[in-house]
Chain A
């Protein structure tokens, strides 16, 4: 069972081939980060323009890399939402039309399902059930995952996403967009205990989180401290985010009585967070899994993989050959559409 995966929900064009038996055969990405950096953020129209230019050449490339041809495909999976409407449209239109031409099923996948399942693409593949911590540019959520399509939200950020907090804070520190990776590089030479930053909602009894107050605190520090302090500010910020997420992770695992935490999304590439989650949770008998760092951010592999699992489960949308994109889409709504 060979599935082509297509991801075009935001600023990365990702294409991959996943085989149910042989695993991930090829995975390529065209990142638009450098282009959008000139604008200080993603320009949706430019993102869509790049997707329509790069998508077919990338499909050619994965087929070539894997030594496969179009005729060996069993299905095409694509991100149907949530994301930028114009960007989603390109991937959906190409995927549905290509599947129509090949007379194979096309599967519209939820972007977050892709992220949630991406840790299963790592070598030590975690088993269901687990708690998923999804920390990306647009989301910060704890989810209990008991099987494919069996997701329930345990708690989430009430304001900014953690990745957004990284990006905004990086901006305050004079780092260029997207700031997360740059901030964490700056933090490597800083002392995380130098400044004590607030940890909003850390001790609230639920699993909700808040990150927007952190950037206000950082902005005050940036104004009052000399530039030489910036690595320490970065490190202290990173420590605060990490503490918040670790604390809530422990709470989520004890509330669900689960033994396994799976981390997904771009912020999951953060080294401090990875280190601290492991060192806090493993002694409590909790196993922590991450996707390979390359698959933390948007990619085609997670979409091909989610599509392959859907296909294996026999979840086939009736070949309607019409498609709708869902710029805003809850996982619950999505799961219902599959009858989960």
Chain B
């Protein structure tokens, strides 16, 4: 038996899930103040599932990219719980979770990164497992990296895909791409992907659990300001 708790708060939808041998139970909220809802959500969910925290084998979390504060929140809560319980953490890309929430087989997961940019990753379903075909990156929608040449057709999903659909289609010369609407990274997929990681022995000690931001330049140094 393995039990996994999963947390995802990289976008305006915040969700938690428990995975008990392939069975999922979920809870979610949307809005602004995820920090106040995440932990109570975990407690409610565990109660509903009739589980105690001590029964968990690992804590999976959506590690981003996404809202800086959101990914830090999921990461911090995963760190605290896993450290206290003496179990590993399972970092899952929020873009892969977004892709895995679709029924498609080849997905471009795109989140709005603000400032006119996007977070982008390409994923494919290969032998019942989601694989990364193009590692997550931060880019301008007008100039995304070339798509991996796979032959199969692409589905686009996520806030960035919805917002920049035609620009992206142009850049990649896609004719009538399918853009799936209204999807967000969800803890259900974080749990499923996390279960795969745990099965392969890829859990990380909580102190090595980190968020993925992709945007690293967040301020100008004194020197950079003077050069301007």
Contact = CB atoms under 8 A, between A and B. Distances in A.
Interface of A: 38-40, 43, 45-46, 48-49, 52-53, 55-57, 59-60, 70, 85-86, 89-90, 92-102, 320-325
By secondary structure, the B interface counts as helix
Given A52-B210, A86-B68, A93-B39, 10 more contacts: A52-B79, A56-B79, A56-B207, A90-B72, A93-B80, A94-B80, A97-B76, A100-B39, A322-B39, A324-B36
Nearest to B206: A56
Contacts of B78: 97
Interface string B143-156: 00000000000000
A94 B69 CA distance: 14
B126 interface: no
A92 B35 contact: yes
Contacts of A321: 39-40, 43
Interface stretch (B22-30, B174-182, B192-200, B213-221): B213-221
Given A52-B72, A97-B84, A89 B35 contact: yes
22 contacts: A38-B222, A38-B223, A39-B219, A40-B225, A46-B219, A48-B69, A52-B75, A53-B210, A55-B76, A60-B207, A86-B68, A86-B69, A90-B76, A92-B35, A93-B35, A93-B76, A99-B80, A100-B53, A321-B43, A322-B36, A323-B35, A325-B35
A108 to B, nearest CB: 12
Nearest to B72: A52
Contacts of A98: 80-81, 83-84
Interface centre among A90, A96, A97, A102 (most CB of B within 10 A): A97
Given A49-B213, A322-B36, A325-B35, A100 B76 contact: no
B222 to A, nearest CB: 5
Contacts of B53: 100-101
A83 to B, nearest CB: 14
B35 A100 contact: no
Interface centre among B43, B79, B84, B218 (most CB of A within 10 A): B84
B27 to A, nearest CB: 14
Given A321-B39, A323-B36, A97 B80 contact: yes
B133 interface: no
A89 B34 CA distance: 11
Interface in B61-82: 68-69, 72-73, 75-82
